[in-house]
């Protein structure tokens, strides 16, 4: 008996083994009904059986072994199963263990038939394992996508809900600071509240930007005709106000005009200048420059000090990487989310630009942003 026929003929006993194993998984599984425990298991087995009956070329077999098998449009039973398992509270390890149990159940029952004299094809064993591996890969990928989507929704809701109370605290601290009759000690306290809530607001904004970028649409822009020289000078003055003890040199000799989102560019400039101040040597100036070069606005910020480790360079623009301390920006290396440089790179990418970094002990660290002066993508919001 070919294995595909064996699976169909013994579907109920195989499904019962699947259900029995799933019920042993701690947590929600113990209270789930038969239908929930077997969700899409029958469809998965029928897909596997159909795959075994389908002729397969050597090239197709190689592709399948490498996880490159062609898949029909729409959601497969294995993908749907993963979503339901995620929603039921199963961990990815528990879901994977179901496939191990399913594989073992089918092969154990089939080998019992073989011992009783049933003919078999060795190729069926290979094809079966390939089909189960394909279903498992689909389930794992679907589970991971579901986890990511759930996390992004949570982060978006969290960031949105935090804005209202933070706004109220910020407004209250501003009112207190404008009160001329406030004593010295209350003024210091109000100033600290104002500074802290501003920092918290920036973290929340980064969180919301991160969620938007993960949604696939990138960072949204509102482009207007903008003088980048003015934006850059304003950001330098802002960072100087927060760091009066640091020497920040601004080298801008010309107007740099183009179509940009000024608020978003402010985020980029502020983050990079603040990074340079935070991580640069206090005895050396931070140098900021802006000029036009071949239809590009080129922004540079340079600082001396300990270089960024070579192994960190490739990860430095990735969100919350293990080198995120180099991307903490003006939030400080212990209080930020490690999203500053990631969001800066996303904003630059949305402008069809490029951001790079070079760092060594002799020459210091230089971040360079190159932005097209013309608006390349007319689809952006205006």
pLDDT of res. 228: 94
CA distance 281 to 284: 6
Number of structural domains, the chain? 2
Query: 354 with 369: CB under 8 angstroms?
Result: yes
Q: Is there a single domain that holds both residue 85 and residue 180?
A: yes
Does residue 295 fall inside a structural domain? yes
pLDDT of res. 238: 87
Does residue 377 fall inside a structural domain? no
Does residue 170 fall inside a structural domain? yes
Q: Is there a single domain that holds both residue 141 and residue 175?
A: yes
Q: Is there a single domain that holds both residue 169 and residue 239?
A: no
Q: Is there a single domain that holds both residue 140 and residue 268?
A: no
pLDDT values of the chain reduced to their tens digit, one per residue, 382 residues: 788 888 899 889 888 888 888 788 776 666 677 777 777 788 888 888 888 888 877 787 777 666 666 766 778 888 988 888 888 888 888 888 888 888 888 888 888 888 776 666 778 888 888 888 888 988 999 988 888 878 777 777 777 778 778 888 888 988 888 888 888 888 889 888 988 887 788 778 777 777 777 666 677 888 999 999 999 999 999 888 888 899 999 999 888 989 999 988 998 998 899 889 988 999 999 999 999 998 999 999 999 998 888 888 888 888 765 454 554 444 344 445 567 888 889 899 989 999 999 999 989 999 999 999 876 543 333 3
Token pair, residue 112, equals: 């019992």
pLDDT of res. 337: 55
CATH of the domain at 283: 3.30.565.10
Query: 336 with 329: CB under 8 angstroms?
Result: yes
Does residue 166 fall inside a structural domain? yes
Q: Is there a single domain that holds both residue 352 and residue 234?
A: yes
The domain boundary, picked from 168, 191, 217, lies at 217
User: Going by C-beta distance under 8 Å and a sequence separation of 6 or more, which residues neighbour residue 97?
Assistant: 21, 25
Query: 380 with 223: CB under 8 angstroms?
Result: yes
Q: Is there a single domain that holds both residue 213 and residue 228?
A: no
126 three-class SS:
helix
CA distance 300 to 361: 18
pLDDT of res. 251: 93
User: Going by C-beta distance under 8 Å and a sequence separation of 6 or more, which residues neighbour residue 263?
Assistant: 222
Q: Is there a single domain that holds both residue 161 and residue 15?
A: yes
CATH of the domain at 104: 1.10.490.70
Token pair, residue 115, equals: 């011992």
121 three-class SS:
coil
Q: Does the predicted TM-score (pTM) go above 0.75?
A: no
Query: Up-side HSE of residue 275: CA atoms within 13 Å toward CB?
Result: 31
User: Going by C-beta distance under 8 Å and a sequence separation of 6 or more, which residues neighbour residue 341?
Assistant: 271, 275, 316, 317, 326, 327, 329
Does residue 381 fall inside a structural domain? no
CB atoms within 10 A of CB 192: 11
Query: 365 with 302: CB under 8 angstroms?
Result: yes
* Runs of H (alpha helix) within the chain: 3-9, 11-23, 34-37, 41-53, 58-65, 77-87, 92-115, 122-177, 184-214, 228-242, 262-279, 310-313, 340-350
pLDDT of res. 379: 34
Look at the block and give the residue holding tokens 């699976």: 7
Look at the block and give the residue holding tokens 């394909």: 134
Q: Is there a single domain that holds both residue 228 and residue 212?
A: no
Q: Is there a single domain that holds both residue 307 and residue 201?
A: no
Token pair, residue 83, equals: 């979503």
Does residue 382 fall inside a structural domain? no
Pairing, β 248-252 against β 364-372: unpaired
Full residue range of the structural domain in which residue 101 is found:
1-217
The domain boundary, picked from 202, 217, 232, lies at 217
Token pair, residue 171, equals: 């407004």
pLDDT of res. 134: 87
Query: 89 with 9: CB under 8 angstroms?
Result: no
Q: Report the sign of the C-alpha dihedral through residues 228, 230, 231, 237, in that order.
A: positive
Q: Is there a single domain that holds both residue 242 and residue 287?
A: yes
Q: Is there a single domain that holds both residue 265 and residue 310?
A: yes
The domain boundary, picked from 191, 217, 243, lies at 217
Q: Is there a single domain that holds both residue 253 and residue 146?
A: no
């Amino acid at each position: 008996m070919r294995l595909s026929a064996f699976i169909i003929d013994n579907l109920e006993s195989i499904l019962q083994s699947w259900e029995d194993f799933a019920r042993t998984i701690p947590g929600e599984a113990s209270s789930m009904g038969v239908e929930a425990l077997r969700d899409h298991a029958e469809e998965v087995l029928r897909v596997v059986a159909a795959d075994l009956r389908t002729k397969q070329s050597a090239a197709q077999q190689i592709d399948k072994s490498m996880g490159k098998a062609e898949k029909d449009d729409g959601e497969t039973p294995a993908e749907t199963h993963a979503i339901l398992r995620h929603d039921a509270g199963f961990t990815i390890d528990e879901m994977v263990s179901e496939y191990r149990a399913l594989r073992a159940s089918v092969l154990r029952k089939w080998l019992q038939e073989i011992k009783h004299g049933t003919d078999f094809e060795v190729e069926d064993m290979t094809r079966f394992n390939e089909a189960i591996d394909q279903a498992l890969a689909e389930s794992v990928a679907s589970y991971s996508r579901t986890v990511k989507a759930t996390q992004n929704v949570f982060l978006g809701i969290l960031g949105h809900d935090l804005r209202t109370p933070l706004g109220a605290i910020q407004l209250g601290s501003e009112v207190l600071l404008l009160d001329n009759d406030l004593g010295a000690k209350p003024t210091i306290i109000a100033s600290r509240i104002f500074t802290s809530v501003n920092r918290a607001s920036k973290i929340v904004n980064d969180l919301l930007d991160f969620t938007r970028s993960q949604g696939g649409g990138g960072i949204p822009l509102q482009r207007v005709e903008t003088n980048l020289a003015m934006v850059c000078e304003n950001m330098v003055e802002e960072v100087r106000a927060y760091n009066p003890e640091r020497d920040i040199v601004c080298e801008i000799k010309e107007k740099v005009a183009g179509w940009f989102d000024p608020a978003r560019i402010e985020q980029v400039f502020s983050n990079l200048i603040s990074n340079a101040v935070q991580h640069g040597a206090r005895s050396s100036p931070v140098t900021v420059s802006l000029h036009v070069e071949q239809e590009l606005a080129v922004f540079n910020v340079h600082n001396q000090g300990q270089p960024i480790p070579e192994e960190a360079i490739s990860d430095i623009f990735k969100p919350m990487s293990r080198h995120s301390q180099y991307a903490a920006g003006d939030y400080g290396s212990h209080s930020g989310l490690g999203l500053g440089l990631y969001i800066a790179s996303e904003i630059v990418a949305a402008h069809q630009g490029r951001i790079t970094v070079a760092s060594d002990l002799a020459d210091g660290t230089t971040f360079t942003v190159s932005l097209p002066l013309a608006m390349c993508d007319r689809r952006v919001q205006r």
